[in-house]
Amino acid sequence: MMMLVASRLWGARCGKSARRVLSGGTSARNHAGSVRALQRKPQNNSEAPQRLQVSRLVPTRHSIDHAQLRAVLSQRIGDGVVLRLIGKWLNAGVMERGAVSYPESGTPQGGVISPMLANIFLHAVLDVWFENEVKPRLRGRAELVRFADDFVIAFTREDDARRVYNVLPKRFEKYGLMLHPEKTRLVPFQRPSYLNRDDVTTKGSEQGTFDLLGFTFYWARSKRGYWVIQLRTARDRFSRALHKLSDWCRRNRHEAVHEQWSRICKALQGHYAYFGVMGNEGRLLALRHATYRVWRNWLNRRSQRARVTWAKMKQLIGRYPLPRLPPPRSLRALANPLR
């Protein structure tokens, strides 16, 4: 029987959100398979990550073979009633433009159970295979971090990274899956201090960066001068948030100013709640300042006579201030929010 490793199965479950895969749990055992596992301090140079494989699957819910999915589920579920119920869910037709079709692959689009089925399938295809077959054959240490169909694998040896990089497409092709060609790459991600301990001018930007769950990961110096992995809002997520805000202000520019201010504050607070991690204050401030510019721009276009100068905008800000940045929290603090 295939046992699900609960601490490593992130996504599509209560308590396993995208934010928790960044912070992990409250102990080393609970944050196995999370980003916290990559930030574990190595005991020597040979244990420090040197290469990262960043990959994303082409949407898996559209390409999962039903027979292979049933085989994976039968290894875990012994109740035939539950298996038949899932089978009925998979065989349910999909209506598109008034026509009903019965696809032989994929899970129901928009179905509440689809993310969970895809997560269980990927757990068998990738997680269990990596732990039981790949890691024993590697010469160095490796860690897998996966959330839904996004995953990162850290290696301490470059030759191990290239071997897995070459075999992964064959593994997924066996199950009818495919890696995204533009989002699958090898990234050098060695701690800069290990490259040249005597060069204090070494910059973390000389190392590769990668995006995961809306954050860009990169090396930077802490206030004490140590090299640490820092997180900042990814460019595409920053642009997307600003575009959504501008589009909302355009569509609701004729609403009362108080109503606009209330909705904008809620949007910023939600953004702060997810992206408010230590080291990301610059991107949060940039979004806050850009929000003022976007809001003023659409207030100016409420009518031909509208003239909201920056002097008037300053008065408006005094009455309707946008929420301030929350105190930055480290990933360790996020793992235990009750503190």
Q: What is the pTM of this model?
A: 0.77
Please enumerate, as own/partner, the contacts of 183-188 that have beta carbons within 8 Å and a separation of 24 or more: 183/54, 183/55, 183/56, 184/53, 184/54, 184/55, 184/56, 185/53, 185/54, 186/51, 186/52, 186/53, 186/161, 186/162, 187/51, 187/52, 187/53, 187/54, 188/50, 188/51, 188/52
Q: What integer pLDDT is reported at residue 42 of this predicted model?
A: 53
Q: What integer pLDDT is reported at residue 20 of this predicted model?
A: 67
What CA–CA distance (Å, rounded) separates 269 from 260? 14
Q: What integer pLDDT is reported at residue 328 of this predicted model?
A: 67
Spatial CA neighbour of 155 closest among 8, 43, 38: 38
- 3-class secondary-structure state, position 336: coil
CB 267 within 8 A of CB 245: yes
Tens place of pLDDT per residue across the chain (339 aa): 344 444 455 565 555 667 666 665 444 445 455 565 555 555 555 555 556 666 666 555 456 777 888 888 888 787 888 888 878 777 776 666 777 766 666 666 666 777 788 888 888 888 889 988 998 998 888 888 888 778 888 888 888 888 888 888 888 888 888 888 888 888 888 777 655 544 444 444 446 788 888 888 888 887 787 788 888 999 999 999 999 999 999 999 889 999 999 999 999 999 998 898 888 889 999 999 999 999 999 998 888 777 888 888 889 889 999 988 877 665 555 444 444
Q: What integer pLDDT is reported at residue 188 of this predicted model?
A: 85
Q: What integer pLDDT is reported at residue 250 of this predicted model?
A: 92
